[in-house]
A and B are shown apart, each in its own frame.
Chain A
Amino acid sequence: MDSLNSLIDGFGTALTPVNLLWAALGVLLGTAIGVLPGIGPAMAVALLLPVTYGLEPTGAFIMFAGIYYGAMFGGSTTSILLNTPGESAAVVAAMEGHPMAKAGRGPQALAAAAIGHFAGGMIGTVLLVVLAPTVASLAVDIGAPDYFAIMVLAFIAVTSVLGSSRIRGLASLLIGLTIGLVGLDQMTGQQRLTFGSLQLADGVDVVIVAVGLFAIGEALWVAAHLRRSTGEPIPVGRPWLGRDDLRRTWKSWLRGPVIGFPFGAIPAGGAEIPTFLSYVTEKRLSKHREEFGKGAIEGVAGPESAASASAAGTLVSMLTLGLPTTAVAAVMLAAFQQYGIQPGPLLFEREPELVWGLIASLFVGMVLLLALNLPLAPLWAKLLRIPRPYLYAGILFFAAVGAYAVGGEAADLVILLVIGLIGLGMRRYGLPVLPAVIGVILGPAAEQQLRRALQISDGSASGLVDTPFSVTVYGVVLLILAWPLVRKQVTRRMAARR
């Protein structure tokens, strides 16, 4: 058991006092962010990217992972008590959790959600330990054409699977790729889209793009449509579960990860689809089907477990292939780039201490989160009372701090505002933000791999498809592209049969 030994070493890294502190800080921040409306984990990690300038990578990633998992825990608290999901992953939790809270079963709903997250996260992380080294060793000798294929997959998946309109997804991706082009060409030093400006010759820093699109764009968009009356959360006591509830939920907790983990690993939009699938599954399997819609505890337990497991699945793709499947993973990838670390199959060989410390810290974080969320949920719910002007003013404030910290230049703040306004316009007209961020982060890397691959093959396009790995990936890309057509055929056939 090679990975078991590595994991034990990882615990050695994760359990040092400093890293424990980062894990604790991460899960605290994550829970708060999950509870708070308006801030998602992607925005939070983006706002924290500047700490990468002062912090060593292991501590930073331990904190980021804590935020990711913590936000999942906290998001369901808002869903259940306020009926307005704190995260997109927690939408399903509101469907059964809120009726439960209204009926006075809030404590049970919170407990089912928290333990669900714990179970899903634990099972998901165990799967991560088992699978990630295998995937990494399978992919270990991939070269430039393969990396390029993976990036094409990320581009296509993020524009095709997410959102309702492919055209708008592609528009967003192209905006991102354009921003990524600004600056000096990495291979020749040629100026591109700089218009003679020295400021732009350095390119637009990924931190500024991520903070601008996620934080400024979101804050301005909310400001344009700020809800004047905020809902009152339902007061709730300490979460607990009776024996009857336990009997109903334990199977749901175990079923969730089966659905959540694989969906997290593929670029299919993160936790939204698996939580919904888990909900439907629980409804079908439940003995209390009549309770669904009125507060069935299985409908909280299963989807929440699936949500946390999908976060673990996301980490598999991000760490082993460098393929970001969610917004948080995309921003974490940007953090890797800040440190000059290339996530991918070699990461497990080159940075074993970082990777295994990170994975071990996930187990630590999960235990901390359970301890934080089970007894303290009523306390966290108090965060919902924060006056909205302070919340969004705070987001703008920290966005400015983060962007200024990048290079200590006031001009960066102006670029940040411009990108924020682009983010505002994208939200207004339904252009998804994630493709643009992926375009900025992966665009320059993809170009480099493409040119490297073509250099090796001396310009022949066959150099892009001369490995089994790249051919497989392009097969998947074709499958994703063809999917809407296939679906149309299938539904037509089914309609005809009826």
Chain B
Amino acid sequence: MTTGTAGPTPGPKRAHWLRDHSELGVSVLLLVLGVLVLTDALTMSVDLTQRGPVGPRTVPLVVGGGLLVIAVLLAADVLRGGRGEAEGGEDIDLAEPADWRTVLLLAGVFLANAVLIGPFGFPVSGALLFWGSAWALGSRHYDRDPLIAAGLSLVTYFVFDSLLGVPLPGGPLMGVV
């Protein structure tokens, strides 16, 4: 993970090198993925199921092999000084250090929604998702934020459930209403 400190950091050289070459982590992940795909393909039993000359193993073998090759090529590229360009955008300020705390908070709020949607229903979990995300992103209007969240969640629930015919769980709250 980059912490984005500008200039040479006083810490040990090795940590610095690793931070500069954190993209090697992508290479490792691709390697692991490749091994996973290959293992899965090789342990597949295809004696009876195969029809035609190309069975269900062929494409996974090609994809898994490709992943291994690309992992090595990417590592070589990074070691030779190649860097993936972080994506820019209108609301993105790459000069600032990455704020991983916000990302973690958002991921947590999102997971909470996945857990709560069953027992409490979409109107409640959705409102919490919106409010929690807005809070994580820096909004601190305690009067306005929960109202917007509740309104958005309820309107979405009715539009999807009643107008579009896509069922969302109402939960105990909608049971009362």
Residues of A within 8 A of B (CB): 37-38, 50-51, 53-55, 78, 82, 84-86, 164-165, 167-168, 170-171, 174-175, 177-178, 181, 185, 187-190, 192-193, 195, 216, 218-228, 230, 387-390, 392-394, 396-398, 400-401, 404-405, 408, 410-411, 413-414, 417, 420-421, 424-425, 427-431, 447, 450-451, 454-455, 458-459
Report yes or no: A55 in contact with B164, Cβ–Cβ below 8 A: yes
Report yes or no: A393 in contact with B133, Cβ–Cβ below 8 A: yes
What are the residues of chain A within 8 A of B58 when measuring CB–CB? Answer: 451
Report yes or no: B96 in contact with A168, Cβ–Cβ below 8 A: no
What are the residues of chain A within 8 A of B174 when measuring CB–CB? Answer: none
CA distance A431 to B82 in the complex (A): 13
B117 on the A face (CB < 8 A): yes
Most buried by A among B33, B56, B82, B98: B56
Most buried by B among A55, A192, A216: A192
CA distance A468 to B57 in the complex (A): 29
Report yes or no: B87 in contact with A397, Cβ–Cβ below 8 A: no
What are the residues of chain A within 8 A of B60 when measuring CB–CB? Answer: 181, 192-193
What are the residues of chain B within 8 A of A195 when measuring CB–CB? Answer: 40
Report yes or no: B139 in contact with A401, Cβ–Cβ below 8 A: no
Given contacts A193-B40, A454-B52, contact A174 B63 (CB under 8 A): yes
What are the residues of chain A within 8 A of B129 when measuring CB–CB? Answer: 393, 396-397, 400
Chain A residues touching B, majority SS: helix
The residues in B between 67 and 83 inclusive whose CB is less than 8 angstroms from any CB of A are 67, 70-71, 73-74, 77, 82-83
Given contacts A167-B74, A388-B137, A397-B152, contact A230 B114 (CB under 8 A): no
CA distance A37 to B114 in the complex (A): 27
Chain B residues touching A, majority SS: helix
Which of A50, A55, A431 is close to B84, meaning CB atoms less than 8 Å apart? A431
Contact with A along B86-116 (1 / 0, CB 8 A): 1101111110101110110011011101110
Q: Would you give the shortest CB distance from A214 to chain B, in whole angstroms? A: 12
Instruction: Identify the 5 closest CB pairs spanning chains A and B, nearest first.
Output: A430-B84, A459-B53, A393-B133, A389-B139, A389-B137
Contacts A37-B90, A397-B126, A400-B129 supplied; 13 other A-B pairs, CB < 8 Å:
A53-B166, A54-B165, A167-B73, A175-B33, A178-B33, A223-B137, A388-B137, A389-B135, A397-B130, A414-B111, A427-B87, A454-B52, A459-B54
Residues of B within 8 A of A (CB): 23, 26, 30, 33, 36-37, 40-41, 44, 46, 49-56, 58-60, 63, 66-67, 70-71, 73-74, 77, 82-87, 89-94, 96, 98-100, 102-103, 106-107, 109-111, 113-115, 117-118, 122, 126, 129-131, 133-139, 148, 152-153, 156, 160, 164-169
Report yes or no: B51 in contact with A188, Cβ–Cβ below 8 A: yes
CA distance A227 to B89 in the complex (A): 10
Q: Would you give the shortest CB distance from A270 to chain B, in whole angstroms? A: 16
Most buried by B among A167, A168, A181, A192: A167
Which of A164, A165, A192, A455 is close to B52, meaning CB atoms less than 8 Å apart? A455
What are the residues of chain B within 8 A of A451 when measuring CB–CB? Answer: 52, 54, 58
Report yes or no: B66 in contact with A417, Cβ–Cβ below 8 A: no
CA distance A414 to B111 in the complex (A): 7
Report yes or no: B53 in contact with A410, Cβ–Cβ below 8 A: no
CA distance A164 to B85 in the complex (A): 8
What are the residues of chain B within 8 A of A218 when measuring CB–CB? Answer: 89
Most buried by A among B59, B98, B115, B138: B59
CA distance A397 to B123 in the complex (A): 11
CA distance A417 to B85 in the complex (A): 23
**Nearest-CB residue, chain A, relative to B125:** A400
Report yes or no: B96 in contact with A225, Cβ–Cβ below 8 A: yes
**Nearest-CB residue, chain A, relative to B45:** A190
CA distance A397 to B154 in the complex (A): 12
What are the residues of chain B within 8 A of A454 when measuring CB–CB? Answer: 52-54
Which of B30, B54, B84, B117 is close to A410, meaning CB atoms less than 8 Å apart? B117
What are the residues of chain A within 8 A of B117 when measuring CB–CB? Answer: 404, 410, 413
Report yes or no: B134 in contact with A393, Cβ–Cβ below 8 A: yes
CA distance A84 to B63 in the complex (A): 39
Q: Would you give the shortest CB distance from B88 to chain A, in whole angstroms? A: 9
Which of A82, A389, A420, A430 is close to B85, meaning CB atoms less than 8 Å apart? A430
What are the residues of chain B within 8 A of A398 when measuring CB–CB? Answer: 156
Given contacts A37-B89, A224-B100, A405-B166, contact A187 B113 (CB under 8 A): no
Which of B26, B83, B91, B131 is close to A227, meaning CB atoms less than 8 Å apart? B91
Which of A84, A175, A401, A428 is close to B90, meaning CB atoms less than 8 Å apart? A84
Most buried by B among A174, A220, A459: A174
What are the residues of chain B within 8 A of A421 when measuring CB–CB? Answer: 107
Given contacts A185-B56, A410-B115, A413-B114, contact A222 B166 (CB under 8 A): no
